[in-house]
């Protein structure tokens, strides 16, 4: 029998940062699979524009730096839809200005470190805490977006990568504390994913360096990550909890420097 468990019919899903790159692709995909999505974002005009085009979707203002805003966001969704089945913690503190300040630890400003943790770690924790009573009621689940940078050292983004590693451990803690209560919690780690913002801001030479390490013939697109999130959020993943699914085109799965090895051996060593 062909399984249709990847469908999300009848589910209510919140996507934080749902107005932007990967979050917007995930909102579109989840809506196409039958979910009623709540697009929660600090960029509320963009969230409304996206929600207007998706059946059953709503836009909800959210500032992850503001505890009250997070609690109101969850309450608004539950008031509107009467339930919550999926919390997708996708939003993060990003952007060229932030990236410029987030280098190595010796040169790290404390304010940047604190803000990164406020949005990424504290904001995710408060969203999970606010959603968990509703997810217990629906036997729902949480999908946290982290990053391949949480798994490997790099010259850049020391605060961001540490904050994403903290979310991996939060994922395991929630899976452990709430598994017997019917709530699953998983994480997805995208590698470099070609969102509109990243296409605009990321230096082409560095993009080529990442492309050289991928095991596919191209870098990931937002829709590639959306598919993984939709799977983890669906009943098809009912036996999967406390897990990290790395969706980076294989970049982190091999020793570094395969571009040079390819050049030495040719395409077929
Ligand atoms: N794009 C990549 O290459 C990549 C790689 C690894 C991990 N990720 C992760 O994927 C997720 C999505 O990234 P993206 O590239 O689509 O980002 P993006 O910048 O395109 O979108 C992020 C969204 O989050 C919203 N947001 C930012 N701060 C917020 C706040 N304080 N409160 C509420 N909303 C806020 C923004 O308005 C935006 O809509 C992030 O968790 C990111 O760390 C992305």
Distance CA 226, CA 6 (A): 12
Q: How far is CA 99 from CA 20, 91, 94, 105, 171, in A?
A: 17, 15, 7, 13, 25
Structural domain contains residue 2: no
* Residue 41 pLDDT: 98
* Residue 262 pLDDT: 85
Structural domain contains residue 3: no
Whether ligand 1 lies within 6 angstroms of the CB of 183 is answered as no
Q: Which residue's CA is the closest to the ligand 1 atom numbered 37?
A: 43
* Residue 5 pLDDT: 63
Structural domain contains residue 1: no
Whether ligand 1 lies within 6 angstroms of the CB of 92 is answered as yes
The pair phi, psi for residue 152, each rounded to 5°, is: -140, 150
Structural domain contains residue 121: yes
Structural domain contains residue 96: yes
CA of 68 relative to ligand 1 center, distance in Å: 21
Q: Are 18 and 24 in contact (CB under 8 A)?
A: yes
Indicate which CATH number applies to the domain containing 187.
3.40.50.720
Domain coverage including residue 208: 12-265
Whether ligand 1 lies within 6 angstroms of the CB of 26 is answered as no
Name the one residue in this structure whose structure tokens are 């999908």.
143
Structural domain contains residue 100: yes
Active site residues: 160
Looking at the CA of residue 89, tell me the nearest atom of ligand 1. 41
CA of 19 relative to ligand 1 center, distance in Å: 9
Whether ligand 1 lies within 6 angstroms of the CB of 15 is answered as no
The three-state DSSP-derived secondary structure of the chain is: CCCCCCCCCCCEEEEECCCCHHHHHHHHHHHHCCCEEEEEECCHHHHHHHHHCCCCCEEEECCCCCHHHHHHHHHHHHHHHCCCCEEEECCCCCCHHHHHHCCCHHHCCHHHHHHHHHHHHHHHHHHHHHHHHHHHHHCCEEEEECCHHHCCCCCCCHHHHHHHHHHHHHHHHHHHHHHHHCCEEEEEEECCECCHHHHHHCCHHHHHHHHHHCCCCCCECHHHHHHHHHHHHCHHHCCCCCCEEEECCCHHHCCCCHHHHHHHHCCCC
* Residue 266 pLDDT: 81
Structural domain contains residue 165: yes
Task: Please count the structural domains in the chain.
Answer: 1
Q: Which residue's CA is the closest to the ligand 1 atom numbered 13?
A: 22
User: b/e string for 37-56 if b means 16 or more Cβ within 10 A?
Assistant: bbbbbbbbebbbebbeebee
Whether ligand 1 lies within 6 angstroms of the CB of 220 is answered as no
∠ Cα 5 8 13 (to 5°): 140
* Residue 47 pLDDT: 98
* Residue 269 pLDDT: 63
Structural domain contains residue 4: no
Residues facing 13 on adjacent strands: 37, 86
Report the chain (269 residues): mean pLDDT per 10 consecutive residues.
Answer: 76 98 98 98 98 97 98 98 98 96 97 98 99 98 98 96 98 98 98 96 92 94 98 97 98 90 79
CA of 157 relative to ligand 1 center, distance in Å: 14
Looking at the CA of residue 69, tell me the nearest atom of ligand 1. 32
User: Within a 10 A sphere around the Cβ of 237, how many other Cβ atoms?
Assistant: 20
Q: Are 163 and 116 in contact (CB under 8 A)?
A: yes
Distance CA 58, CA 138 (A): 20
Q: How far is CA 261 from CA 11, 70, 141, in A?
A: 47, 48, 42
Distance CA 48, CA 245 (A): 30
């Amino acid at each position: 029998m062909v399984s249709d468990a990847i469908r999300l019919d009848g589910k209510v899903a919140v996507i934080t940062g749902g107005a932007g790159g990967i979050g917007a692709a995930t909102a579109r995909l989840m809506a196409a699979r039958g979910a009623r999505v709540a697009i929660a974002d600090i960029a509320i005009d963009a969230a409304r524009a996206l929600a207007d085009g998706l059946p059953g979707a709503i836009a909800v203002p959210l500032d992850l730096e503001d505890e009250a805003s997070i609690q109101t966001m969850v309450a608004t969704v539950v008031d509107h839809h009467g339930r919550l089945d999926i919390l997708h913690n996708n939003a993060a503190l990003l952007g060229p200005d932030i990236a410029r300040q987030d280098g190595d630890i010796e040169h790290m400003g404390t304010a940047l470190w604190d803000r990164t943790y406020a949005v990424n770690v504290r904001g995710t924790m408060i969203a999970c805490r606010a959603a968990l009573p509703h997810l217990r009621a629906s036997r729902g689940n949480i999908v946290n977006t982290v990053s391949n940078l949480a798994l490997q050292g790099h010259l850049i983004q020391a605060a961001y990568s540490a904050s994403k590693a903290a979310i991996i451990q939060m994922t395991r803690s929630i899976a452990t504390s709430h598994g017997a209560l019917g709530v699953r919690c998983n994480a997805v780690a995208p590698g470099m994913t070609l969102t509109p913002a990243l296409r605009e801001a990321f230096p082409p030479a560095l993009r080529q360096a990442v492309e050289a390490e991928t095991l596919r013939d191209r870098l990931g697109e937002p829709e590639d990550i959306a598919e993984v999130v939709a799977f983890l959020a669906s009943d098809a993943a009912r036996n999967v909890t406390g897990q990290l699914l790395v969706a980076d085109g294989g970049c982190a799965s091999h020793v570094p420097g395969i571009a040079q090895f390819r050049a030495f051996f040719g395409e077929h060593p």
